[in-house]
Amino acid sequence: MAVALIKERYQNSVSELTIGATPEEGGTRTSVIKVGGDGTLPFLHFEGEMKNRPVIAMEVTDVPPVWSETLNSYYKDVYNDPVAWAKKCVEEYKADLLYVKLIGANPEGENRSPEECAKVVKDILGAVGVPLIVSGCEDPEKDNEVIAAVAEAGAGENLLIGVVEQDNYKSITAAAMVHRHSVIARSPLDINICKQLNILISEMGLPLDRIAIDPMIGGLGYGIEYAYSIMERARLGALANDKMLSMPMICTVGYEANRAKEANASEEEFPGWGDVKERAILWETMTATALLQAGASILLMRNPDAVRLVKENIDDMMVSNE
């Protein structure tokens, strides 16, 4: 006897966000990235449409970062040249797009000027054809200046810029509006702050389909279950027609996974944990694949072998199960 499968029918879908602009659209990108548009919970193709596949942005910094030896083995030859680093991520590691982190602007570090930071972004735009995500150095006052300069230098490219937070959103949002970019709205694992921030941004006049939610995740074993629950609530809210939760989600996978000791502690320190390079790959891979199931649309990643594995997982999950 055949049993009928009960299917959910949702009132709404996640909004679709476009990153990048081709020459016909006023930019210089060879392609654009579209994320979101989902009318179902992740990968439940039998209940609704997964309009766009999740994408992976590989991280590039403007100055050499302090990363683990595992990551250094992939990038140490290009650490001093962000343009060469960007080209390596696109040409060798097949990044869908790039995440340019301007850590050199930090006042307690190299304290690079907004103009210097904007030049790095312009140089990368000239070297690769994929769309860019650009964020600052995590100093709110400096980031307001830096991201404003980047937004002006990249006018028309439809960058995804950030981050904007509840106490510091006006300058970057205004720059995005003037120069036709989208923004990353970050909220600290709090669904109510997430909604309130999106309301504040939209009240300034930025359309909702130009916002990506950064829910502030944790790595595998470091709060990922709480991040998962918040992301799941956001996705369910979007599907239930809550417009202030209907944006695609972006997750800082590489940063969170690689600061876990399990991803970088040596075999000498923990001999029972096995090979550190393999651990690092798997820690970032498992963090990413868990967050895909929670509704992530954009994964910001570092380890090229983890990127390869996650892309294979996305390929498998995008096969229809109707």
pLDDT in tens, 253-306: 999 999 999 999 999 999 999 999 999 999 999 999 999 999 999 999 999 999
pTM confidence score:
0.96
In percent, the amount of the chain with pLDDT more than 70 equals 99
Which residues have C-beta within 8 Å of that of residue 114, sequence separation ≥ 6?
Answer: 105, 145, 146, 148, 149, 150
Distance CA 44, CA 56 (A): 20
pLDDT in tens, 38-64: 999 999 999 999 999 999 999 999 999
In a domain, 51, yes or no: yes
Residue 2 has pLDDT above 70, yes or no: no
The pLDDT-based confidence of 3 (bands split at 50, 70, 90) is low
In a domain, 134, yes or no: yes
Quick one: average pLDDT of 7-33?
A: 95
In a domain, 256, yes or no: yes
User: Exposed e or buried b for every residue in 151-161, given b needs 16+ CB within 10 A?
Assistant: bebbbebbbbb
Distance CA 25, CA 210 (A): 16
Q: How many distinct structural domains can be found in the chain?
A: 1
Q: Which domain holds residue 280?
A: 16-317
CATH number where 289 lies = 3.20.20.20
Give the pLDDT confidence score for residue 5 in this predicted structure. 76
Q: 17 pairs with which residues across the strands? A: 35
In a domain, 253, yes or no: yes
Distance CA 268, CA 274 (A): 10
Residue 318 has pLDDT above 90, yes or no: yes
